[in-house]
A and B are shown apart, each in its own frame.
Chain A
Amino acid sequence: MKSILKATVAAAALVVAGSAANAADVKACFVYVGPVGDFGWSYQHDQGRLAVEAKFGDKVETAYLESVPEGPDAERAIERFAREGCNIIFTTSFGYMNPTLKVAKKFPDVKFEHATGYKSADNVATYNSKFHEGRYIIGQIAAKQSKSGVAGYIASFPIPEVVAGINAFLLGAQSVNPDFKLKVVWVNTWFDPGKEADAAKALIDQGADVITQHTDSTAPLQVAQERGAHGFGQASDMINFAKDAQYTAIIDDWAPYYVHRVQDVLDGKWESGSAWDGLAEGHVVMAPYTNLPDDVVEMAKATEAKIIGGWEPFTGPITKQDGSVAAEDGVRLDDGAILGMNWYVQGVDDKLPQ
């Protein structure tokens, strides 16, 4: 209900804005699944939009719709943007995939960019980030720093991106301590600060002294701070919430990509494609390493450099939870295997919900 109201208000505002003289060369529009105030996923996308505004000034006009539910409402929102003269439209959630393609068919001259999806078209590009690269690094840090040898992982939904994150974290940890244990708690929500906090408390009570999360709020880190445990920021730098507890944060930085793609539209050389970039391209950024001894910081920075140099964390030997071999020694999993990951690596103390 809230999102409908907000979308309506935003749409009304857009109608007003659209009727004003349009002096900009390019209009870039963004559709968000959450409120820009979530301080997580949608917040980071909006930071990217602001970077586009800052970079191009009067040449580019931007607009956004927030809290647009995935489904038929999304199609309406995207189509409205297309009709209003947006030249490029970024749809920033997995569930916008089919609506984006549907609208794109009707507006062949408008460029579309869909985040985290796998279907593209002549005027629909896809883009995503290699968050698992950052998770490998924080896994290493966790294994170095944990006294109990157990980390807790607050997970949202059993989709490939989340599963790959858990696996990358544990592979990183095992590279430091082969016996490292990982407890996983599924909260079945992307965003519920109270529930995330309770999950963090449960994990700490069960012996985890380092926790990490694939949910969007800062609540687990605050619990870590309160309980004297440690953790990592998610999506944005959360150091303000846990100045003694945060080791680092995996930051989603969409700004370089958005600036680059809008530049392409300005230059008239935009082409459809599929971008999947990580640390090397600056789409995934590690926040400053804090509360860590020097040797651990050095290790983390060395791994970061190795990944930027082209090394893939999902390089064998990798053994699946059931004991079968996922990748032989030195063999690198291909992109499809990572993007569609539906198995745990050996050592995860959890049964993957199916």
Chain B
Amino acid sequence: MFEAVLLTVITAATPILIAAIGELVAERSGVLNLGVEGMMIMGAVIGFAVANQTGSGTLGVIAAVAAGMAMSALFGFLVLILVANQVATGLALTILGIGFSGLIGEAFIGVPGLILPELYIPVLSEIPFIGPVFFQQDAIVYLGFALVAVVAYVLFKTRLGLVLRAVGNNHGSAHALGYSVIKVRFMAVLFGGGCAGLAGAYMSLAYTPQWVENMTAGRGWIALALVVFSSWLPLRVIVGAYLFGAVSVLNLHAQAVELDIPSQLLSSLPYLATIVVLVLISANRRLTLVNTPACLGKPFVPDR
């Protein structure tokens, strides 16, 4: 029973976890990309289409990552090179992604998809309870955890991470020190796009292996909220994603075991939980100030 619930939580949490960790990197470099939903849905449709045409899930996932990166490259070009408004461009990217994915996906409606195989890690997957929950998942779930670990390490333990955070906190100084603010930000935005594409592929190849229009159903926005929720700390993204996944799945289980709680209240619980945590976090002003990228959303135009 508990094992079954946990398995559902993992699948519910994985797409928002991956999209959020990508957005976290972009935001740490000072770029606010509200186009996560659009990049995610493009990843979902391209991943599905390529997997369907080639019969290879791996190629589908790679194509989805590429699609997310292509979308984010467009965003990067507009906001970093042409210095367009980040909020407006991000929103436009979401609208573009949802509309364009519908157009591409028209041929794939009603076509059953390919399901990514589960990878059984030898020996470990034999352990009762822990085995099925942690070591019998598809590759993207493992990749999600790996991504968080790598991001946490790179951001805080390497020179690259230091530069990235410097660019996000004070682009003027970083520029003066000789770092290319635009280049660093572009890379971070590309990483964010790739992650969003991967999250999309998880939706259309593992979570619900099919293509239907608008299938991400707002998960890109939840990923954005999760970044704030985590106060830009990678490990907290895991906590947030799993908390959110758990609350939304427990709602359904609670109804199935006939707990006498109104379903509307249960449905709103994940959002209420997010608000509560945001309030708790912002109560600690110092921590918030230390971790919020100071140049988040501010355009940078290098003076010569």
As a 0/1 sequence over residues 1 to 23 of chain A, the CB contacts with chain B under 8 angstroms (1 = contact) are 11001100100000000000000
The CA of A189 and the CA of B267, in the complex, are separated in Å by 10
Encoded as 1 (CB less than 8 Å from any A CB) or 0, chain B from 217 to 248 comes to 10100000000000000000000000000001
B136 at the interface (CB under 8 A from A): no
- Of B11, B212, B249, B260, the residue contacting A193 (CB under 8 A) is B212
Pair A199/B112 contact, Cβ less than 8 Å: no
Is A58 close to B, CB under 8 A?
no
Contact A206 B214 (CB under 8 A): no
B95-120 Cβ-contact flags toward A at 8 Å (1 or 0): 10011001001100111100100000
Q: Are B263 and A188 in contact (CB under 8 A)?
A: yes
Complex alpha-carbon distance, A9 and B109, angstroms: 21
Interface stretch among B126-134, B170-178, B251-259, B290-298? B251-259
Q: Contacts A187-B252, A188-B264 given: A37-B99 contact, CB under 8 Å?
A: no
Chain B residue at minimum C-beta to C-beta distance from A43: B109
Distance in angstroms from A149 CB to nearest chain B CB is 15
Q: Does B299 contact A (CB under 8 A)?
A: no
| B188 contacts chain A at the CB level, 8 A cutoff | no
Q: Mark A188-199, 1 if CB is under 8 A from B, else 0.
A: 110111111111
Bound complex: CA of A43 vs CA of B211, how far in Å?
A: 14
Instruction: Tell whether, in the assembled complex, residue B1 and residue A202 are in contact, meaning their CB atoms are under 8 Å apart.
Output: no
Q: B21-29, B70-78, B201-209: which one contacts chain A?
A: B201-209
- Provide the bound-state CA to CA distance between A37 and B107, in Å: 9
Q: Which of A6, A38, A205, A240 contacts B99 (CB under 8 A)?
A: A6
Give Cα A208–Cα B258 distance, bound, in whole angstroms.
13
- Whether B169 is near chain A, meaning CB under 8 Å from some CB there, is no
Q: Could you tell me the distance between the alpha carbons of A42 and B105 in the complex, rounded to whole angstroms?
A: 16
User: A117 → chain B, closest Cβ, in Å?
Assistant: 24
**B residues near A195, Cβ cutoff 8 Å:** 217, 248, 252
Q: Is the CB of B110 within 8 A of A5?
A: no
Assembly CA distance A241 to B110 (angstroms): 8
Nearest A residue to B15, CB-CB: A194
- Contact check: which of A152, A183, A187, A205 meets B5 at CB < 8 Å? A205
Contacts of B109 in A (CB 8 A): 37, 39, 43
Q: Are the CB atoms of B99 and A2 closer together than 8 Å?
A: yes
Is there a chain B Cβ closer than 8 Å to A323's Cβ?
no
Inter-chain contact A185/B256, CB cutoff 8 Å: yes
Q: Name the one of B91, B210, B260 contacting A219, with C-beta atoms under 8 angstroms.
A: B210
With the chains together, A183 CA to B7 CA distance in Å? 21
Residues of B within 8 A of A218 (CB): 210, 212
What is the bound-complex CA distance between A208 and B248, given in angstroms?
20
A2 CB contacts on chain B under 8 angstroms: 95, 98-99, 214
Q: Which chain B residues lie closer than 8 Å to A191 at the CB level?
A: 212, 214, 217
Bound CA–CA A206/B255 (angstroms): 10
A198 touching B12 by the CB < 8 A rule?
yes
Known: A5-B95, A198-B8. A185 touches B208 (CB 8 A): no
Chain B residues near A92 (CB-CB < 8 A) = none
Task: Give complex CA distance A6, B102 in Å.
Answer: 10
Q: Mark A28-39, 1 if CB is under 8 A from B, else 0.
A: 000000110111
Q: A122 at interface (Cβ–Cβ under 8 A)?
A: no
The answer to whether the Cβ of A140 comes within 8 Å of any Cβ in the partner chain is: no
A133 → B minimal CB distance (Å): 25
Q: Judging by beta carbons under 8 Å apart, are B112 and A202 in contact?
A: no
Q: Find the B residue at minimum CB distance from A202.
A: B252
Question: Are A202 and B253 in contact, with the CB atoms below 8 A?
Answer: yes
A217/B208 contact (C-beta < 8 A), A2-B98, A193-B217, A198-B248 known: yes
Q: Compute how far the CA of A9 lies from the CA of B102 in the bound complex, rounded to whole angstroms.
A: 13
Interface size in chain B (residues, C-beta < 8 A):
45
Determine the distance from Cα of A91 to Cα of B91 in the docked complex, in whole angstroms.
30
Query: Are A222 and B208 within 8 A (Cβ)?
Result: yes
Chain B interface helix/strand/loop/mixed:
helix
> Digit string of A227-269 for contact with B (CB within 8 Å is 1, else 0)?
0000000001000110000000000000000000000000000
A5→B255 contact, CB < 8 A: no
Q: Please give, as numbers and ranges, the residues of chain B lying within 8 Å of A39 by CB-CB distance.
A: 109-110, 212
Q: Does B94 make an interface contact (CB < 8 A)?
A: yes
- For B109, give the chain A residue with the smallest CB separation: A37
B280 close to A (CB within 8 Å): no
Closest chain B residue, CB of each to CB of A196: B208
**CB-nearest residue of chain B relative to A218?**
B210
Tell whether, in the assembled complex, residue B214 and residue A241 are in contact, meaning their CB atoms are under 8 Å apart: no
A109 close to chain B: CB less than 8 A: no
Most chain A CB within 10 A, of B5, B95, B208, is at B208
Per-residue interface assignment for chain B, residues 120 to 144, with 1 indicating a CB less than 8 Å from any chain A CB and 0 otherwise: 0000000000000000000000000
Query: From residue 160 to 219 of chain B, which have CB atoms closer than 8 A to chain A?
Result: 203, 207-210, 212-215, 217, 219
Q: Which residues does chain A contribute within 8 Å of B203, judged by CB atoms?
A: 193-194
| A188 contacts B267, C-beta separation under 8 Å | yes
Contacts of B262 in A (CB 8 A): 353
- Interchain nearest-CB distance for B76 vs A (Å): 22
Whether A127 is near chain B, meaning CB under 8 Å from some CB there, is no
Q: Which residues of A contact B248 (CB under 8 A)?
A: 195, 198
Q: Report the minimal beta-carbon distance from A209 to chain B, rounded to whole angstroms.
A: 13
B91 to A, closest residue via Cβ:
A1
Q: Which of B111, B115, B252, B257 interacts with A240 by CB under 8 Å?
A: B111
A349 interfacial by beta-carbon distance below 8 Å:
yes
Tell me the complex Cα distance, A6–B106, Å: 14
How many whole Å from B268's CB to the nearest CB in chain A? Answer: 9
Tell me how far the C-beta of B103 lies from the nearest C-beta in chain A, rounded to whole angstroms: 9
Interchain nearest-CB distance for B113 vs A (Å)? 9
Return 11 A-B CB contacts under 8 Å, by A number: A37-B212, A183-B256, A185-B252, A186-B255, A193-B207, A194-B207, A194-B208, A195-B217, A201-B4, A218-B210, A240-B111
In the A-B complex, the 3 residue pairs with the smallest Cβ-Cβ separation, listed nearest first, are A186-B263, A206-B256, A202-B252
Other than the given A38-B212, A192-B217, A194-B203, 11 more pairs (CB < 8 A) read A6-B99, A38-B213, A183-B255, A185-B263, A187-B267, A194-B215, A195-B217, A195-B248, A195-B252, A199-B252, A218-B212
